[in-house]
Amino acid sequence: MRLILMRHAKSDWDGMCSDHERPLSQRGKRAAPKIGTYLSERGYIPEQAIISDSTRTRETNALVAEAWPEVVPVRLEAKLYHASAAMMFEVLKSATAQTVLVVGHNPGIASFAEAMVSQPPEHGRFFDYPTCATTVIDFDISDWSEVETGTGQVLDFVIPREL
């Protein structure tokens, strides 16, 4: 089973809307498609996306998905909005596809990525997980209900600035 963990792309700090409704900034709108292309070129294409229901995570997912050959079913999950690592873990256990994309927020997504892997990647930005940072993790399980923390093998970690 494969997990793709992604923090939303850079958002706009316009004070006219709530945090939940903040859209992506122009920088975020440029970064997300780059990550989508990077994932697609390497065959890291999810079969299910579980994303926070915030505007910036929905926009990130839509832009990333433009690079994929097929439409990926999306489940909006209110529990992922500023979720803790523990909540993300519970949401993941309900996933139904072999390869799952989770799009969330910091600090939860960084903590979750760190908790899920047996060995973190040797990358200076893994622990602070900048916007649109993405980790691809494999697990030797047959169902997400069997997933355990600290058992994932990192296949890839990328940030938009490197693309």
- pLDDT profile of the chain (163 residues), mean per 10: 98 86 96 98 98 98 96 98 97 98 98 98 96 99 97 98 94
Domain count across the chain? 1
pLDDT at 36: 98
pLDDT at 69: 92
74 located within any domain: yes
14 located within any domain: no
Provide the CATH number for the domain around residue 142: 3.40.50.1240
Closest CA to 5 of 82, 102, 87, 100: 102
Closest CA to 132 of 43, 53, 61, 70: 61
pLDDT at 20: 94
Domain that holds residue 115: 2-8+21-162
Under 8 Å CB-to-CB from 17, ≥6 apart: which residues?
A: 23
15 located within any domain: no
57 located within any domain: yes
Positive or negative, the CA dihedral 67, 43, 58, 160 is negative
